[in-house]
Amino acid sequence: RRDNLHKLTTRLVKDYDTIVVENLSVKNMMKNHHLSASIANAAWGTLVSQLKYKCAWYGKQLIIIDPKNTSRICHECKQKNHEFNSLSQSEWLSTREWDCPNCHAHLDRDVNAAKNILAKGLETLA
């Protein structure tokens, strides 16, 4: 996995001048007792640390943003979906697609979050 991470981070840093990632807290993820989440988080930490030093090597920019609400805000209309507040953590984690109650956009959870993360990062440059 380490070799795959190296290939991935080298490709990302070579292909993009600016990379935006979420500052995911190890502590919060460890409170969650799902083993897969802990493993995924360990890989995430390694990925971010590789991005940090490789961006420095290649003169690229890494922006690390606060993950607050990046999954819950609709990237189309920028409204937060408050319907998620009533879900349990496992219900929330298993929600892969959703419809925005405000603008009715049909959203893929990961794609929507990625667009919010990029927008949030680019705001810091303005």
76 lies in the binding site for Zn ion (CB under 5 A): yes
103 lies in the binding site for Zn ion (CB under 5 A): yes
Piece in contact with Zn ion (CB under 5 A), picked from 27-35, 39-47, 65-73, 101-109: 101-109
CB of 47 to Zn ion, least distance (A): 29
Strand-pair partners of 96: none
Piece in contact with Zn ion (CB under 5 A), picked from 7-15, 36-44, 51-59, 103-111: 103-111
105 and 77 in contact (C-beta within 8 Å)? Answer: yes
74 lies in the binding site for Zn ion (CB under 5 A): yes
Tokens matching residue 73: 């805000």
DSSP 43-90: HHHHHHHHHHHHHHHHT-EEEEE--TTTTTB-TTT--B-GGGGGS-HH
Which residues of the shown chain bind Zn ion in the complex (CB under 5 A)?
74, 76-77, 100, 102-103, 105
